[in-house]
C-alpha cells in the first residue's frame, strides 16, 4: 500500500463560503463574568466547512457598558485566533465590556461580526473590598462536628429609581451557599472549592440584578466546614487544618438607573443562627433535621431578634483570586436501577453506575423520623462493602419535618458510590423516591472515542466517569475514602487524557498555582498532595513531584498556552533544581523515599510500593525527562540561558542513566516492563541498536507475561506507546485487548463502571481485594485512554494547541473501526476509520485555521499534508493478520501465543493451556505437540488443539 494511495476526495458542501465566529472566550473561561485579570487574552473559533481555510486577519472591537465604543484593533493581519493578547486599555475592577470579533480568510473574505461576548472584571485590587469576613459570635468545639451557621442581613432598595445592575462578590472560610430574598444566587456546589487557602482563596462574582426588588431585601448565607475546617487526611486525619472559624465575606454592589450606587457588605451588623444542618463533613456526610429549619430566614421580614451577633475575622484580602475554571455543579441525575430489601427497615439501592455526588430523596412521613443513607461502591454478600472507604463514614441523615412531601439533598458533602443503603424509610421505598445527583467541576466536554469493540468502549466510558468523579474542584486520587486528595502523581499520568476529554486548561492552571504556592513553602519540594494537608515534612518523590513540570507542559502542548509555562516556570525549574541536587555529581537520584512504580501488579496487596522496577532507575529517568522539558519550556519562553542549562543537565542525566542502568546492548536493569518503557519513552538509550534490543526485550516481556499488564502507576501510561514506538503494535494491542487479570479490560468483564485503583480491586471470584488500596474510582490507570485517542483513533497534536495535527490511526487488535473526536482550540477535529470488504475508509475533519499531517494505515509511514475541511480516503486494505502462515501441532508455542485469534481459539478448546501462557521463559520454541504432551489429558488436548487450528485455516 505504499505508492497506490489515492488523493483525498474532498467532501463538497453547499455552504463552503460561510464563515461565522462560533465562540469567543476570555482566558480559559466559557463566560467572562468576574475575570481576575485586567488584560484577559481572547480566543475565538471560526466556524466554516471551507477547505483549507486560514485566517488572514482579525478585528476585535469593544463597547463599554454604556454601548459606546471602548476601542478597536482595526484590521490586524494575523493568523492568531487563540489567546490573543488583550488589545485594549486594561480593564478596571468591575468594568464590563462587550467584545465583538470578525475575521478575514486568507482569501480576503470577511466573516460577519460575532455575537457580543461580555467580559467583566472582578475585584482586581485588595482595596476594592470594604466587606470584612464575619463569623458567628458563639463558642464552638471544633474537635467535633458543629452545626452549620446561617448568616443574614436586610437592606433597602430605593423605590422608583430602578436597579440597573447588581453584583455579589462573595466567598467564605469554609464552604457556602448564598441566598438573596429566599433564593440561592447560583447553581454552584461547594463554593469556593478547595485551593491552597492560606495563599489563594477564590471568590465568585454573581449577577444578582434580577433577584432584587424595591423596598426591603435580605441577603443570607449558609456556611459549612468543607475542606477548610472539616476532617481531612488518612489515618484519622485532622480537623480545622486551615482555621477554626467559618466566616463569610460578601459585598453586594448595586447600581441604580440614575447612576447612584449602594453597597451591602458583611460587617458587624449581620446576624447569625444555627440552621438545620447539624453536621456536615466531606468524608463523613451530612445530618439534617428539617424540624430545625427557619422558614424565610434569607427573605425580608424574618424576625432575627433572637439571633446572635457576628464577629469580624481578620484575613488578608490580597489572597483572594477570581476563578480560572468552572465551578462545581450538579451535572446529571441518575435514577436507581434496582432496589432490594435488605431487612424490614433497610433497603439497598443500586444506581447502576459508580458515580460521585449525593442522593436526593423525596419523602412523606411523620415529623422526627430519621432516614439514614450510607454509601458504597460495591457490595459484599449483598450488603454495602464499606471497608474500602476506610475512615470515611459517608453517611447522610435526614430527619423529617412532617406534614407533606419533603425533598432533600445534602449540601456540603459528596460521596463516591454506586449503592446506597436506606434505613428508616416510611413505608416501602420506590424507585422514584430517590435519585443520585452527579456533581463535579462543570468542565466542557471536548473529547470522544469509540471503536468496534464494546468492551473497549466501556473501558473508555469508565475513564470518563472516573474523570468526572475525580475532577471535583481539584484533581483527586479517589472520591470516596478518607483521601480525595490532589495526589500529584495521579494527575501527572492522567493529564494528557484529561486534556483530551474535557477543557481542563483553567481548572488545572488554578491547581498549578496552588502547587506553586505550596512548593514555595517547602523550598522547591513538591508535596505529595496539592493542596498540601499532610502534616509531615515534605520530601520529594519521583513521578509525583514531576507533576510540577509535566502538567504545565501537557497543557502547553494541548491548549497552546505558553502563558501557563510562563506562570509555572519558576515552579518547574525549582522542582528540577531540588531533584538535581539530590542526584548531585553522580546525576543519579538513588536516595530517599520513593513510591516508585506504585501498585505494580507483582507487588503484594499489602506492599503497593514493592514493585519490580528499581526506584532509583525511575527517579533518574524522571530527572532526565523533567530537565529536558524545563529546557524546552525555557526555549518556548525565549530564556536561552535556562534552555542551555537544563538541556545540558538532561544530557548528563541521560549519560548517567545509560552508564548505571543500561547494558551496552540495551538490556535495562530490573528487566521489568516499566524499566524498558521509561528508557524508550524518555529517550534514554544511546543508539538505534540499543533501542532495537530494548524494544525486543520489552515485547518479549509482554509475551512472557502472557500479555497481561505488568506495570504500575509509572509504567502503565507509557507501555503501549513504548511498544508501538519499537514497531510492536501487535503486542500493544494484545495488552489492550487482554481480558484476563491483570489487564485494562478485566475490570470491564467484572462489571466495572469506573476505573479501579488496582487491576484487581475485585478479585476474579468476585471478592473485594483485601489490600489497603482498593478504590473503585481512580483515574490513574485510565491514562491508557490517551493512547486510544492518539493511536487507535489517530488524533494527536503535532504543534501546540493542535495548530497542526498529527493524524495517524493505527488499526490493530482485530478492530474493524474506530473514531476519535476532539474539540481543539480551533474547532472540532475528527478521525474515523472503518475496515470492510477488503477496503479501509478513513474520514478526517481538520478544524479551520489548522493543517494536518496525515499518515494513513498501510502507507508505510508516507504522509500527506492537508488543510481544514473534510477529507476522505478509501482504498484496498488487508488486515495484516490475514494470509499469515497456518499453525499446526508442529508450530512453536510462541507462534501460537503471538497469534491473538489462534490463541483465543486454542484456549477455548484446551482451557488447560492458560497455565502455559504465563512464564513462557525458555519454552517459546517448544513445538505445540510437546507442550500438549505435558498437559493433564495429552491425547484429547492434542486432538482438540489440532481441530481448532485446522478450523481457523480452513
Ligand atoms: C492514593 C494514590 C496516590 C498514592 C501515593 C494513595 O493513597 O490513593 O492514588 O498516588 O497514595 O502513592
Query: What is the block-wise mean pLDDT of the chain (954 residues), using blocks of 10 residues?
Result: 39 56 95 97 96 97 93 97 98 97 96 97 98 97 93 97 97 98 98 98 98 98 98 95 97 97 98 98 98 98 98 97 98 97 90 98 98 97 94 97 97 98 96 97 98 98 98 98 97 98 98 98 97 94 98 98 98 98 98 93 85 96 98 98 98 97 95 98 94 96 92 96 96 96 97 95 91 91 98 98 98 97 98 97 98 94 94 91 85 87 90 70 82 91 92 86
pLDDT digits (tens, 9 = 90+) for 314-368: 999 999 999 999 999 999 999 999 999 878 889 999 999 999 999 999 999 999 9
Residue for grid cell 463597547 = 63
pLDDT score for 206: 98
494 lines ligand 1 (CB under 6 A): no
Q: Which residues pair with 265 in a beta bridge?
A: 251
* Cell numbers given for 293: 429549619
What is the Cα–Cα distance from 231 to 282, expressed in whole angstroms?
Answer: 8
Contact 499, 554 (CB under 8 A): yes
Q: Is 843 a catalytic residue?
A: no
Q: Cα-Cα-Cα-Cα dihedral of 400, 404, 409, 412, to 10°? A: -60
pLDDT score for 117: 96
**Ligand 1 centroid vs 246 CA: distance in angstroms?**
30
**Ligand 1 centroid vs 378 CA: distance in angstroms?**
20
**Ligand 1 centroid vs 722 CA: distance in angstroms?**
24
pLDDT score for 17: 57
Q: Choose among 34, 531, 609: nearest CA to 241.
A: 531
642 lines ligand 1 (CB under 6 A): no
**Cα-based distances in Å from 516 to 402, 526, 574, 624:** 51, 8, 9, 21
Q: Is 377 a catalytic residue?
A: no
∠ Cα 278 283 286 (to 5°): 25
∠ Cα 441 446 447 (to 5°): 115
* Cell numbers given for 836: 470492510
What is the Cα–Cα distance from 334 to 456, expressed in whole angstroms?
Answer: 23
843 lines ligand 1 (CB under 6 A): no
What is the Cα–Cα distance from 82 to 80, expressed in whole angstroms?
Answer: 6
598 lines ligand 1 (CB under 6 A): yes
**Ligand 1 centroid vs 599 CA: distance in angstroms?**
9
* Cell numbers given for 318: 490580597
Q: Which residues pair with 355 in a beta bridge?
A: 417
Q: What are phi and psi of 877, to 5 degrees?
A: -150, 130
The residue contributing the CA closest to ligand 1 atom 3 is 487
pLDDT digits (tens, 9 = 90+) for 441-459: 999 999 999 999 999 999 9
Q: Which of 59, 286, 757, 843 is catalytic?
A: 757
Top mutation candidate among 469, 476, 529, 773 for ligand 1, by most atoms within 8 Å of CB: 773
**Ligand 1 centroid vs 487 CA: distance in angstroms?**
6
Q: Choose among 102, 94, 98, 48: nearest CA to 73.
A: 102
Quickly count: other Cβ atoms within 10 Å of residue 472's Cβ.
23
Q: Which residues pair with 133 in a beta bridge?
A: 313
675 lines ligand 1 (CB under 6 A): no
756 lines ligand 1 (CB under 6 A): no
Q: Choose among 487, 442, 467: nearest CA to 189.
A: 442
pLDDT score for 607: 85
Q: Which of 483, 628, 704, 917 is catalytic?
A: 483
Cis amide linkage into residue 263, ω under 30° from 0: no
Closest ligand 1 atom to residue 595 Cα is 12
Top mutation candidate among 477, 480, 600, 712 for ligand 1, by most atoms within 8 Å of CB: 477
Closest ligand 1 atom to residue 544 Cα is 10
490 lines ligand 1 (CB under 6 A): yes
Task: Using only the alpha carbons of the chain, give its radius of gyration.
Answer: 30
What is the Cα–Cα distance from 462 to 615, expressed in whole angstroms?
Answer: 30
**Cα-based distances in Å from 366 to 395, 427, 724:** 21, 11, 64
Q: What are phi and psi of 177, to 5 degrees?
A: -130, 125
Q: Which residues pair with 25 in a beta bridge?
A: 43
* Cell numbers given for 74: 482595526
**Ligand 1 centroid vs 530 CA: distance in angstroms?**
12
**Cα-based distances in Å from 87 to 30, 67, 101, 566:** 19, 18, 12, 20
Residue for grid cell 487524557 = 497
E strand spans, 415-559 = 415-423, 434-441, 447-451, 471-472, 474-475
Amino acid at each position: 500500500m505504499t505508492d497506490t494511495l489515492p488523493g483525498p476526495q474532498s467532501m463538497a458542501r453547499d455552504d463552503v463560503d460561510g464563515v461565522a465566529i462560533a465562540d469567543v472566550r476570555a482566558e480559559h473561561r466559557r463566560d467572562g463574568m468576574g475575570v481576575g485579570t485586567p488584560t484577559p487574552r481572547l480566543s475565538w473559533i471560526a466556524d466554516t466547512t471551507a477547505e483549507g481555510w486560514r485566517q488572514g486577519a482579525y478585528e476585535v472591537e469593544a463597547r463599554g457598558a454604556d454601548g459606546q465604543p471602548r476601542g478597536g484593533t482595526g484590521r490586524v493581519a494575523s493568523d492568531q485566533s487563540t489567546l490573543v493578547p488583550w488589545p485594549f486599555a486594561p480593564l478596571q475592577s468591575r468594568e464590563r465590556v462587550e467584545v465583538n470579533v470578525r475575521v478575514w480568510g486568507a482569501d480576503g473574505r470577511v466573516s460577519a461580526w460575532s455575537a457580543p461576548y461580555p467580559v467583566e472584571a472582578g475585584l482586581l485590587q485588595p482595596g476594592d473590598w470594604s466587606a470584612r469576613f464575619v463569623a458567628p459570635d458563639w463558642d464552638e468545639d471544633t474537635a467535633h462536628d458543629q452545626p452549620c451557621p446561617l448568616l443574614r442581613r436586610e437592606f433597602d432598595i430605593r423605590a422608583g429609581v430602578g436597579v440597573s445592575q447588581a453584583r455579589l462578590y462573595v466567598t467564605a472560610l469554609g464552604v457556602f451557599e448564598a441566598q438573596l430574598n429566599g433564593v440561592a444566587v447560583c447553581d454552584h456546589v461547594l463554593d469556593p472549592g478547595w485551593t491552597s487557602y492560606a495563599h489563594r482563596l477564590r471568590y465568585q462574582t454573581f449577577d444578582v440584578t434580577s433577584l432584587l426588588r424595591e423596598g426591603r431585601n435580605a441577603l443570607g448565607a449558609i456556611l459549612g466546614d468543607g475542606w477548610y475546617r472539616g476532617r481531612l487526611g488518612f489515618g484519622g486525619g485532622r480537623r480545622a487544618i486551615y482555621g477554626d472559624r467559618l466566616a463569610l465575606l460578601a459585598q453586594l454592589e448595586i447600581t441604580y438607573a440614575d447612576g447612584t450606587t449602594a453597597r451591602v457588605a458583611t460587617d458587624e451588623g449581620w446576624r447569625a443562627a444555627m440552621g438545620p444542618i447539624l453536621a456536615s463533613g466531606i468524608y463523613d456526610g451530612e445530618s439534617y433535621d428539617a424540624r430545625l429549619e427557619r422558614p424565610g430566614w434569607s427573605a425580608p421580614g424574618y424576625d432575627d431578634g433572637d439571633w446572635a451577633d457576628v464577629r469580624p475575622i481578620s484575613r488578608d484580602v490580597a489572597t483572594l483570586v477570581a476563578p480560572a475554571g468552572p465551578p462545581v455543579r450538579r451535572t446529571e441525575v441518575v435514577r436507581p436501577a434496582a432496589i432490594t430489601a435488605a431487612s424490614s427497615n433497610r433497603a439497598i439501592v443500586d444506581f447502576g453506575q459508580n458515580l460521585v455526588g449525593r442522593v436526593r430523596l423525596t419523602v412523606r412521613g411523620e415529623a422526627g423520623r430519621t432516614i439514614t443513607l450510607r454509601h458504597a461502591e460495591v457490595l459484599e454478600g449483598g450488603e454495602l462493602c464499606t471497608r474500602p472507604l476506610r475512615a470515611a463514614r459517608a453517611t447522610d441523615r435526614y430527619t423529617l419535618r412532617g406534614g407533606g412531601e419533603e425533598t432533600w439533598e445534602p449540601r456540603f458533602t459528596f460521596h463516591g458510590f454506586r449503592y446506597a443503603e436506606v434505613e428508616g424509610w416510611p413505608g416501602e421505598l420506590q424507585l422514584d423516591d430517590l435519585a443520585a445527583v452527579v456533581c463535579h467541576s462543570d468542565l466542557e466536554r471536548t473529547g470522544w472515542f469509540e471503536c468496534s469493540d464494546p468492551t473497549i468502549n466501556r473501558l473508555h466510558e469508565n475513564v470518563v466517569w472516573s474523570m468526572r468523579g475525580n475532577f471535583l474542584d481539584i484533581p483527586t486520587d479517589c472520591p470516596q475514602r478518607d483521601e480525595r486528595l490532589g495526589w500529584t502523581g495521579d494527575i501527572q499520568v492522567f493529564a494528557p487524557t484529561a486534556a483530551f476529554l474535557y477543557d481542563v486548561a483553567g481548572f488545572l492552571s488554578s491547581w498549578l498555582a496552588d502547587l506553586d504556592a505550596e512548593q514555595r513553602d517547602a523550598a522547591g519540594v513538591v508535596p505529595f498532595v496539592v493542596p498540601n494537608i499532610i502534616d509531615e515534612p515534605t520530601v520529594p518523590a519521583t513521578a509525583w513531584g514531576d507533576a510540577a513540570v509535566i502538567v504545565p507542559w501537557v497543557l502547553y502542548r494541548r491548549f497552546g498556552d505558553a502563558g501557563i509555562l510562563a506562570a509555572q516556570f519558576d515552579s518547574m525549574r525549582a522542582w528540577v533544581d531540588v531533584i538535581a541536587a539530590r542526584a548531585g555529581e553522580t546525576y543519579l537520584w538513588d536516595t530517599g523515599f520513593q513510591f516508585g512504580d506504585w501498585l505494580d501488579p507483582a507487588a503484594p496487596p499489602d506492599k503497593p510500593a514493592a514493585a519490580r522496577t528499581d526506584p532509583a532507575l525511575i527517579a533518574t529517568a524522571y530527572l532526565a525527562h523533567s530537565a529536558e522539558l524545563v529546557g524546552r519550556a525555557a526555549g518556548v519562553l525565549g530564556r536561552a540561558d535556562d534552555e542551555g542549562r537544563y538541556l545540558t543537565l538532561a544530557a548528563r542525566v541521560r549519560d548517567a542513566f545509560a552508564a548505571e542502568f543500561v547494558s551496552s546492548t540495551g538490556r535495562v536493569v530490573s528487566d521489568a516492563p516499566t524499566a524498558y518503557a521509561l528508557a524508550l519513552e524518555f529517550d534514554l538509550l544511546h543508539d538505534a541498536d540499543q533501542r532495537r534490543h530494548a524494544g525486543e526485550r520489552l515485547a518479549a516481556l509482554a509475551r512472557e507475561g502472557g500479555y497481561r499488564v505488568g506495570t504500575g502507576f509509572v509504567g502503565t501510561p507509557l507501555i503501549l506507546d513504548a511498544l508501538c514506538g519499537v514497531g510492536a503494535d501487535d503486542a500493544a494491542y494484545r495488552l489492550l485487548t487482554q481480558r484476563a487479570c491483570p489487564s485494562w479490560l478485566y475490570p470491564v468483564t467484572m462489571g466495572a463502571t469506573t476505573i479501579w485503583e488496582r487491576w484487581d480491586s475485585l478479585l476474579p471470584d468476585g471478592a473485594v481485594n483485601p489490600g489497603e488500596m482498593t478504590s473503585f474510582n481512580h483515574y490513574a490507570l485510565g491514562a491508557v485512554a490517551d493512547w486510544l485517542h492518539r493511536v487507535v483513533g489517530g488524533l494527536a497534536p503535532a504543534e501546540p494547541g493542535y495548530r497542526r495535527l498529527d493524524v495517524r490511526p493505527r488499526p490493530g487488535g482485530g478492530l474493524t473501526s474506530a473514531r476519535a473526536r476532539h474539540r481543539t482550540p480551533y474547532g472540532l477535529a475528527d478521525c474515523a476509520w472503518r475496515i470492510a470488504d477488503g477496503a479501509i475508509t478513513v474520514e478526517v475533519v481538520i478544524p479551520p485555521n489548522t493543517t494536518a499531517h496525515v499518515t494513513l494505515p498501510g502507507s508505510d509511514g508516507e504522509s500527506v499534508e492537508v488543510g481544514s475541511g473534510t477529507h476522505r480516503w478509501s482504498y484496498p486494505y488487508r488486515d495484516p493478520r490475514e494470509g499469515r502462515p497456518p499453525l499446526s501441532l508442529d508450530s512453536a508455542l510462541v507462534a501460537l501465543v503471538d497469534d491473538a485469534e489462534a490463541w483465543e481459539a486454542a484456549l477455548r478448546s484446551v482451557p488447560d493451556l492458560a497455565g502455559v501462557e504465563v512464564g513462557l521463559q525458555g519454552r517459546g520454541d517448544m513445538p505445540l505437540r510437546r507442550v500438549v504432551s505435558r498437559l493433564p489429558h495429552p491425547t484429547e488436548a492434542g486432538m482438540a488443539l489440532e481441530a481448532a487450528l485446522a478450523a481457523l485455516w480452513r
